[in-house]
C-alpha cells in the first residue's frame, strides 16, 4: 500500500480508502435502509481492506440509517488494540437522521448531537477525520466552523474536511477560519472521474493553492467505467442504474457508449481491467491524495489494488481523458 500526507496535516492516509456507504443500506437514502451489504459481508470487506494496508474507513452518520457506523464499531471490537490504533475513522454529518426539522444540516445542535451518536456507534473516543457531507445554506458557515472548532479543541475530532462543496464556498470557509482563528477544512471530498471532471476547473487549482488534500469519491462513475453498462444490454440487477439512476442518466447516450468501447480497447491493450485503469487515472493526478472505493465484494478490491501498480505519464493521462472528450 502507498500512503500520502493529507493536505497540510501530519496525517498519513492510504491511497485507497474503504467506502462504507453500502453497509446496511445504499448511502443515506431511507428507501434503501436494510439493503446493501449485511454485517457479515461488511466484515469480510473490512478484513480484506486491512490486509491490503488500507488505513481509513469512510462512512457517515446517515449511511444505512446508522448501520454502517454500527457495523464498523462491532468490527473494531473483534480486533486487538494494535489494529484499532492503526485504523483511522472518518465520518460525515449533514443528511437526515430522523423526521424532525432539526434532524439534519450543519447547525451547532445537530453537529454536536451527531458527533456523540457517531462515536457511540463506532465505539470510539474520537473521530480522526470528520467531514461536512454537503453545504447547508440555512446555517451560517461561521456557526458550523465554530462548532467544529469546539469539537477539535475537546479532542472529539482531529481533522475536518468538506464534501460536495463548490470552490467558492470552500474559499469562503477557509477565509472565515483564517479570520476567526478556527480550524480549517484540510481536504475536500468531491466526485471525480474520467466521466466527471468538473473539479479540474476551480476546485483542484484551489487545492493546489491552499495545500488541501483531495480524496475523490466515485472514481468509477457509479460503475460506468467498469464496462458493466452497455448500450445493447439491460442494466445488471442491483446496480446503481436500477436503484439510483438519477445522477447518471446524462451518460445514457451513444457518444458515451462509444467512448467506453474505445476505453475498453485501451485497457485490453494494456492488459488491465477498465476499472483499474479508470482508478489509476484519478490516482495519477498529482493533487489526488487518496480515492474512496466502495467495493461490493472483497474481490472487487483487487481491481483497486491493481490500479496502484499502473503508472501513467501526463501524456497518457491526457490521451485517456481525450477518449471521453474528443
pLDDT at 232: 63
pTM of the model as a whole: 0.94
The count of structural domains within the chain is 1
Q: Is residue 34 part of a domain?
A: yes
Query: How far, in Å, are 4, 164, 214, 237 from residue 17 at the CA level?
Result: 12, 17, 12, 26
Cell numbers representing residue 232 in the block: 445493447
- Residue by residue, DSSP assigns 131-173 as EE-S--TTS-HHHHHHHHHHHHHTTSEEEEEEES--HHHHHHH
Q: Is residue 22 part of a domain?
A: yes
Hey, is 7 helix, strand or coil? coil
Q: Is residue 275 part of a domain?
A: no
- CA pair distance 301, 278, nearest whole angstrom: 14
Closest CA to 288 of 185, 166, 204: 204
pLDDT at 30: 77
Q: Is residue 44 part of a domain?
A: yes
φ, ψ at 214 (rounded to 5°): -135, 115
Q: Is residue 98 part of a domain?
A: yes
Residues belonging to the chain: 326
pLDDT at 255: 93
- Residue by residue, DSSP assigns 232-299 as TSPPPTTSHHHH--GGGGGG-SHHHHHHHHHHHHHHHHHTS-HHHHHHHHHHTSTT---EEE--SSTT
Cell numbers representing residue 185 in the block: 477544512
Residues of the chain with pLDDT under 70: 232, 326
CATH number at residue 65: 3.20.20.100
Q: The domain containing residue 10 runs over which residues?
A: 3-189
Would you call 248 a catalytic residue per the annotation?
no
The active-site residue, picked from 63, 130, 192, 248, is 63
Q: Is residue 240 part of a domain?
A: no
Q: What is the largest CA-CA distance in the chain?
A: 56
Q: Is residue 263 part of a domain?
A: no
Q: Is residue 173 part of a domain?
A: yes
Cell numbers representing residue 184 in the block: 480549517
Amino acid at each position: 500500500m502507498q500512503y500520502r500526507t493529507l493536505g497540510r496535516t501530519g496525517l498519513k492516509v492510504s491511497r485507497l480508502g474503504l467506502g462504507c456507504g453500502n453497509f446496511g443500506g445504499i448511502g443515506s437514502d431511507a428507501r434503501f435502509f436494510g439493503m446493501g451489504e449485511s454485517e457479515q459481508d461488511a466484515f469480510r470487506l473490512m478484513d480484506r481492506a486491512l490486509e491490503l494496508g488500507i488505513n481509513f474507513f469512510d462512512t457517515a452518520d446517515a449511511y444505512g440509517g446508522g448501520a454502517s457506523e454500527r457495523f464498523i464499531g462491532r468490527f473494531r471490537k473483534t480486533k486487538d488494540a494494535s489494529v484499532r490504533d492503526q485504523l483511522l475513522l472518518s465520518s460525515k454529518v449533514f443528511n437526515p437522521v430522523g423526521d424532525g426539522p432539526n434532524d439534519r444540516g450543519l447547525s451547532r445542535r445537530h453537529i454536536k448531537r451527531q458527533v456523540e451518536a457517531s462515536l457511540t456507534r463506532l465505539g470510539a473516543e474520537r473521530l480522526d477525520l470528520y467531514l461536512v457531507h454537503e453545504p447547508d445554506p440555512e446555517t451560517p458557515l461561521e456557526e458550523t466552523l465554530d462548532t467544529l472548532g469546539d469539537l477539535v479543541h475537546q479532542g472529539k475530532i482531529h481533522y475536518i474536511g468538506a464534501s460536495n462543496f463548490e470552490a467558492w464556498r470552500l474559499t469562503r470557509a477557509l477565509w472565515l477560519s483564517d479570520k476567526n482563528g478556527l480550524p480549517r477544512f484540510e481536504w475536500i471530498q468531491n466526485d471525480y472521474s474520467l466521466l466527471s471532471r468538473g473539479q479540474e476547473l476551480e476546485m483542484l487549482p484551489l487545492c493546489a493553492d491552499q495545500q488541501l488534500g483531495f480524496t475523490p469519491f466515485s472514481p468509477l462513475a457509479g460503475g460506468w467505467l467498469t464496462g458493466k453498462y452497455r448500450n445493447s444490454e439491460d442494466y445488471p440487477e442491483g446496480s446503481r442504474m436500477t436503484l439510483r439512476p438519477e445522477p447518471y442518466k446524462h451518460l445514457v447516450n451513444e457518444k458515451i457508449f462509444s467512448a467506453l468501447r474505445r476505453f475498453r480497447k485501451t485497457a485490453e491493450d494494456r492488459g488491465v481491467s477498465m476499472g483499474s485503469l479508470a482508478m489509476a487515472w484519478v490516482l495519477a493526478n498529482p493533487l489526488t491524495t487518496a480515492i474512496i472505493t466502495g467495493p461490493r465484494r472483497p474481490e472487487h478490491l483487487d481491481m483497486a489494488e491493481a490500479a496502484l501498480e499502473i503508472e501513467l505519464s501526463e501524456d497518457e493521462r491526457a490521451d485517456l481523458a481525450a477518449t471521453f472528450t474528443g
